[in-house]
Chains A and B, each alone.
Chain A
């Protein structure tokens, strides 16, 4: 169970972007992911949470070697994905799959459910028999809670939740070991979100999958994650065990995200105070010096403006990037 499958070490992804107008422009470096490290065990789920623009989707793509990092490396079962040639990497992709946010956009509208789910099979086993494909596809459809008699239908005939089930079936058809889910429920009705989360949880148990589950909301990842990583402007602010993170977060940003989760209780919701966050997220093209969060942090001191806090290990193998982690008590009060 505790076998380490994925190691991400000091990963950075930078993009060159042109800013300005037609006549006067400058190249800027957008540091989408900046020195992120973490490990993932077999059968474990890591939740990754942060606001839009924090680099979580870029990190997801980099950890699957879909984009090349500028620095750092990704070790899959001990092998550096960056050192593999195209053909070797292609073989590894059987193990590494992804589910995207918008299920309708991720599915080809002109393909039937059979062809969508079977496509990875054709790609990896071009000589596979049609009977075998149909058998495997029907099996996958049952596994994700779709009726196998819908195999000849098209994506538009399904609701958002069902389309996400199709995406999951496609991701699982090759028996992968790691599935990265990039905001798999953000586009769905709240009433349907839990179906997909519970499904992923079940499948993980059945298939001993490692999961990376990305969301912009801490409440969504709580039920599925063993550990949670909180990102802000390309950096990991905190990586903690679920039990600790929601009770006593180590980073002020984590606490702000927890307090921002709406409470479905009128009396509590009315007296809820501010999240403590001021202002907007700074532009990723022009990162603050020192701690990237210091411009919005209610606990910031002089040191935070000057020195970048490293991600460091605390008790219980929880990690935090905050100069003041020891002195701050960010325990969450019971009533929100």
Chain B
């Protein structure tokens, strides 16, 4: 049985301008210890699909489908039941550590609360565990640092503290929403190393949400590419990087700035802008930005097979290079 399995997950929001379909029939599963990337531009539905799984949708949001965690549907649980899983078995870390840490509470207070609640440890045990975890994420001098407040930490340290908090209860699944986007490249590299290390030592499964295919390559086993609420391509990290089949995936890959290109190479961008979810085109939602679009794309594109475990949603055949 997979660790987490999403079945026909739909997420929508009621807004004054009309109903917004943020996520459309999302299906995937992740095994214990696996690392999966969900990649796409702003508004692709990556964050909202995971917020729905965590029961953290905004008040005007609604969700249907199933999110089976070890076979139990998270979406049909009440808050009390959900809280037995959230934090202890599933943890989520957010993009901006400054806004998701409470500025009024010391790091210690924010960390030990979780362990005391979920694991029934007393204060001293929880403290020891928190210090140990801060040391694991390489916060220097953790015994002293744990008493400090978030503003006394640098950006990288805050994000590492977030990762430490996420991992404190040794969750089976860690959902990381753009964990490195707000950080400097040098710190990005550190957090990346840290996540793959923790994955090896504690067999934690990771779902990594990002708009940058550059950061995924070294960290994940499989990739799911989303556009306008739909998965447009999925496969192993090798398949996605070496044989991308959907024009959108290719566009995302080409737009990653690389140091190994000639100095004067023209940078590739995907033309146009991320779609307006209130006014999506019929048929293929990517067609007005797609270099390969043709008349057929006005219809709903089929799902084609690329290889073992590799599929994409497009009219193009594999050979239509």
Contacts and interface: CB of A to CB of B under 8 A. Distances in A.
Contacts of B269: 191-195, 198
Among the interface residues B252, B266, B269, which one has the most CB atoms of the partner chain A within 10 A?
B269
A275 to B, nearest CB: 5
Contacts of B193: 274
22 contacts: A162-B273, A189-B41, A189-B211, A190-B213, A191-B252, A191-B269, A192-B41, A192-B269, A198-B269, A216-B185, A219-B257, A220-B257, A223-B267, A257-B185, A260-B186, A262-B192, A262-B217, A266-B217, A277-B186, A279-B140, A280-B154, A280-B157
A75 interface: no
B237 A266 contact: yes
Given A257-B186, A264-B213, A189 B42 contact: yes
Nearest to B196: A270
A270 B265 CA distance: 26
A272 interface: yes
B217 A263 contact: yes
A293 to B, nearest CB: 12
| Interface residue range, chain A | 35 or more
B321 interface: no
B302 interface: no
Given A216-B184, A280-B140, 15 more contacts: A52-B155, A53-B154, A159-B42, A159-B273, A190-B213, A190-B252, A192-B41, A198-B267, A217-B257, A218-B185, A219-B257, A264-B214, A267-B238, A274-B193, A279-B140
B217 A265 contact: yes
A170 interface: no
Contact of A260 (B157, B185, B270): B185
B255 interface: yes
B196 to A, nearest CB: 9
Nearest to B44: A189
Given A189-B42, A190-B256, A246-B259, A262 B189 contact: yes
A8 interface: no
Contacts of A268: 217
Given A159-B273, A216-B184, A264 B256 contact: yes
A269 interface: yes
A265 B185 contact: no
A190 B273 contact: no
Interface in B213-228: 213-219
B291 to A, nearest CB: 13
Interface of A: 51-53, 159-162, 189-195, 197-198, 216-220, 222-223, 242-243, 246, 256-270, 272, 274-275, 277, 279-281, 332, 334, 336
A320 to B, nearest CB: 19
Contacts of A195: 269, 271
Given A189-B42, A264-B253, A219 B259 contact: yes
Interface in B163-222: 184-189, 192-193, 211-219
B241 interface: yes
Nearest to B223: A266
Contact of A266 (B154, B241, B257, B264): B241
Contacts of B257: 190, 193-194, 217, 219-220, 222-223
B185 A194 contact: no
Contacts of A260: 185-186, 188-189
Nearest to B42: A189
B251 interface: yes
Contact of A222 (B186, B242, B259, B266): B259
B154 A262 contact: no
Contact of B251 (A191, A259, A266, A334): A191
Interface in B235-258: 237-238, 241-242, 251-253, 255-258
A277 B185 CA distance: 11
Contacts of B214: 190, 261-264
B183 to A, nearest CB: 8
A194 B186 contact: no
A189 to B, nearest CB: 4
B61 interface: no
Q: Please list the 10 inter-chain residue pairs (A to B) with the smallest Cβ-Cβ separation, ordered nearest first.
A: A269-B218, A194-B269, A194-B267, A269-B217, A262-B214, A195-B269, A219-B257, A159-B273, A51-B184, A260-B185
B41 to A, nearest CB: 4
